[in-house]
Structures are given as structure tokens and as C-alpha cells.
Amino acid sequence: MPVDAELEMRVSRIALVAHDQMKDRMIDWARTHADVLSKFELFGTGTTGGRIADEVQLQITPLKSGPLGGDAQIGAMIAEGRLDMLIFFIDPMSALPHDVDVKSLLRLATLYNTILAINEATASRVLNCVLPTD
């Protein structure tokens, strides 16, 4: 699919995060897009990052589990300009014990104008519009 010149963005660092009930979907999505994802520096929280490394064989920098500080680590990366894109598969049907952390992370992504995708359709579309920095 050709990239629309107006949508073309240069990205080098992507964080991949998924709530518990969305981890399998994230793994399937990452497997489908592994060739493209392999061109970027990837970060992943807890189990999500570990599973992507093990099951999809992508190089990914592991962070802490979301509720144990991984969300905060990603938030700090966004605030410090060390993250270009956040793909966060959120489970809309489950109550989240760390909902405040999730809201904070989404707020930071919005505040710092970070590319943000919270579902597969958006993540796939946006990934087709970004180019790795050289």
C-alpha cells in the first residue's frame, strides 16, 4: 500500500503494551507485522514484551510490568522525547486495577503529541504510514 506523503512520519522507537485479555491479540498482530516492526527499536512492558521476544522473535527492550512501573517507564520515555509511537491494546471490557496509570500514560501521549494506537485497526494503519529513521 503506498504511503500518503502527508501521512508519512519518521519513527524509530515504538512501545508495545497490551492488557491481559489483549495479549494474544497483540502477539498475533506483532507476528503479522513482524517484518515491519523489525525495522524499529521496540520496547514492551512485562509479559507482553517477553512474549513478543519469545513467540515472534523480535528484538524488544523489556520494561517492568505495567502495574509495577512499566506504564510509568513508558510515560517517562514519552515526556523525555525518547519514544515516537505507543501501541497499547486496551481491553475495553475489563475493570483495570491500575486505571490511573493507564489514564496517565494516555494523557502523556496526548500531551506530547506521540503517535498512539489503542486497537489493531489503528495500529495496522499507522504502522503502514511510518518509516524508520535512517
Catalytic sites, residue numbers: 71
Q: How far is residue 97 from each of residues 35, 64, 102, 122, measured CA to CA in Å? A: 34, 16, 10, 25
CA torsion through residues 104, 106, 112, 114, sign: positive
**How crowded is the C-beta side of 127, counted as CA atoms within 13 Å?**
25
Cell of 85: 509511537
